[in-house]
Structures are given as structure tokens and as C-alpha cells.
């Protein structure tokens, strides 16, 4: 495993026990046998710049030839109006994720704080997961290049 499991917690739900793991490493280096259903990324509204390999969007492009910009042009579900996110169509079989969910941070005051926006986005996961076991991998959202002030 390219990622190191630092910690985990077990959650008992009506559908059974689920686990949340804190992993350290490069999530673009997952092997096919470690594949997950969904990878989360975050971006400013409509800005999918491949800034560098130090951002997840840049690393996806550089390491896996996944262009979030291209995926955004033909979304499976566009939930930005109510949930600040969109869902890609299925990704190529040679990458370790089935779909990408892009959280789009709004800088408008009426959209709420970043924490409120992320909370709203996670509410969209119920219909996206459709009561099926779903594996997800995500970096810390709205961090990285997004913590810098853009003028």
C-alpha cells in the first residue's frame, strides 16, 4: 500500500459498521487492487487549474492523465446549485477510482463558510451512494492552493 494508515475509527450505522481511516501519502499512487469508488477533489468555482503536482488536481493530471477541466465539461450529475459539487461520469478503468466528485468552494458570503459548504456537499452523498457500500478517498478539502488569497 502506497498510503500509510495512521489511525481509524469504526462507526456503527443502520446498514452495518463502517470505517474511516486517516491515511498519509499520495492518493494518486493507489494501486488497482486498492481502488475506491469515489475520489473527492476541491476547486474554486469553475477553476480546475492544474497548478502543480503539489495540488491534487495537478497530480491527477500529471500522474494519471485525469483532467478535471475535461471531466467538468461532461458531468454525470451537476449538484453545484444546492450542494456545491458535481459528479463525473465513470473514469477510465486503468485509474484506481470509479468516479470523481468535485467540491467547488464559493467565495460569496451568502454561500456560507467553507465548513458550511463542505457540510452541505456531504449531504449530497446520500443520494450519490444510493444506500450502497461505497469507498471514498479524499484529501483535506479546500486546502492546498485554495488557502492562498487570489487577486
CATH of the domain at 143: 3.40.220
Of the given ranges (9-13, 75-79, 147-151), which has the lowest mean pLDDT?
147-151
- Which has more pLDDT, 139 or 52? 139
- Which has more pLDDT, 81 or 76? 76
- Tell whether 4 is covered by a domain: no
Domain of 139 in residue numbering reads as 28-147
Of the given ranges (18-32, 66-80, 87-101), which has the lowest mean pLDDT?
18-32
- Order of strands across the sheet with 75-78? 75-78, 85-88, 97-105, 36-44, 136-137
Average pLDDT (14-24) is 85
Residue 151 has pLDDT above 50, yes or no: no
| Domain total of the chain | 1
DSSP 8-class letter at 50: -
- Tell whether 65 is covered by a domain: yes
- Tell whether 110 is covered by a domain: yes
Q: In Å, how far are 10, 97, 132 from 15, measured between CA atoms?
A: 13, 23, 9
- Tell whether 107 is covered by a domain: yes
pLDDT for the residue numbered 37: 94
Q: Which helix (H) or strand (E) holds 101?
A: strand 97-105
Q: Which residues contact 28 (CB under 8 A, 6 or more apart)?
A: 56, 59, 60, 63, 64
Residue 147 has pLDDT above 90, yes or no: no
Amino acid at each position: 500500500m502506497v498510503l500509510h494508515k495512521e489511525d481509524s475509527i469504526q462507526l456503527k450505522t443502520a446498514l452495518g459498521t463502517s470505517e474511516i481511516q486517516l491515511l498519509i501519502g499520495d492518493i494518486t499512487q493507489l494501486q488497482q487492487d486498492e481502488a475506491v469508488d469515489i475520489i473527492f477533489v476541491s476547486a474554486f468555482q469553475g477553476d480546475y487549474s492544474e497548478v502543480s503536482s503539489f495540488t491534487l488536481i495537478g497530480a491527477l493530471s500529471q500522474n494519471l492523465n485525469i483532467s478535471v477541466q475535461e471531466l467538468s465539461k461532461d458531468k454525470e450529475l451537476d449538484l453545484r446549485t444546492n450542494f456545491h459539487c458535481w459528479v463525473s461520469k465513470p473514469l477510465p478503468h486503468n485509474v484506481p477510482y470509479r468516479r470523481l466528485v468535485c467540491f467547488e468552494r464559493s467565495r460569496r458570503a451568502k454561500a456560507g463558510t467553507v465548513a458550511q459548504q463542505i457540510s452541505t456537499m456531504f449531504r449530497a452523498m446520500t443520494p450519490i451512494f444510493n444506500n450502497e457500500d461505497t469507498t471514498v478517498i479524499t484529501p483535506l478539502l479546500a486546502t492546498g492552493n485554495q488557502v492562498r488569497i487570489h487577486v
